[in-house]
């Protein structure tokens, strides 16, 4: 297992739709293991394959508090099939380090996906799990949290990012 490099905004890969997985093989299982290792090493609650440069519909999630151990959820070709309620909480993203913003999400969702064994499963989540499920499926659709905020906040974010990138180039 290996800790993978996480792509950062404005990498164009992050804005592409991921492709459906056709078969669960040893190569895919290796990617899933590496993604889980990366997620845990970075103390994150989720990671999608596009974030590590793989345009596949694969995500890993674990919202279990550290002191309670691990409860890895693997999602292959996930689809949100039911949603209800509304929640408005602050989110962060490994691909946009240091940036946090309040994002409007569904309070409860039901997701259909395959697991790492190719078995079909349903996951229902609310609270943090609901947010993580939506956040990671967004990544698979080429969306970031900045695509879910107001255009004013998004423009401010982009201006600040351009300034930071210029400062790095000149520094």
CA distance linking residue 164 with residue 157, whole number of Å: 11
Q: What angle do CA 76, 79, 80 make, to 5 degrees?
A: 135
Residue 101 is among the residues annotated as catalytic for this protein: no
Phi–psi pair at 123, nearest 5 degrees: -125, 125
What b/e string do you get for 44-67 counting C-beta neighbours within 10 Å, with b at 16 or more?
bbbbbbbbbebebbbbbbbbeeee
Give the E-state strand segments of the chain in sequence order: 46-48, 58-61, 73-84, 87-93, 96-105, 108-114, 120-126
CA dihedral 101→66→48→111, nearest 10 degrees, is -90
Of the listed 5, 37, 86, 136, which one is catalytic?
Answer: 136
Active-site positions read: 136
């Amino acid at each position: 297992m290996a800790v993978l490099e996480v792509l950062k905004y404005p990498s164009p890969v992050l804005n592409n739709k991921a492709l459906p997985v056709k078969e669960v093989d040893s190569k895919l299982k290796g990617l899933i293991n590496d993604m889980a290792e990366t997620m845990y090493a970075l103390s994150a609650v989720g990671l999608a394959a596009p974030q590590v440069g793989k345009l596949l519909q694969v995500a890993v999630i674990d919202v279990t508090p550290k002191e309670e151990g691990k409860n890895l959820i693997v999602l292959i070709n996930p689809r949100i099939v039911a949603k209800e309620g509304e929640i408005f909480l602050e989110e962060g993203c490994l691909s946009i380090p240091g940036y946090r913003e309040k994002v409007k999400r569904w309070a409860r969702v039901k997701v259909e996906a395959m697991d790492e064994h190719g078995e079909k499963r349903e996951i229902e989540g609310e609270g943090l799990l609901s947010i993580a499920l939506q956040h990671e499926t967004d990544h698979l659709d080429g969306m970031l949290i900045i695509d879910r905020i107001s255009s004013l906040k998004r423009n401010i974010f982009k201006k600040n990012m351009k300034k930071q990138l210029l400062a790095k180039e000149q520094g």
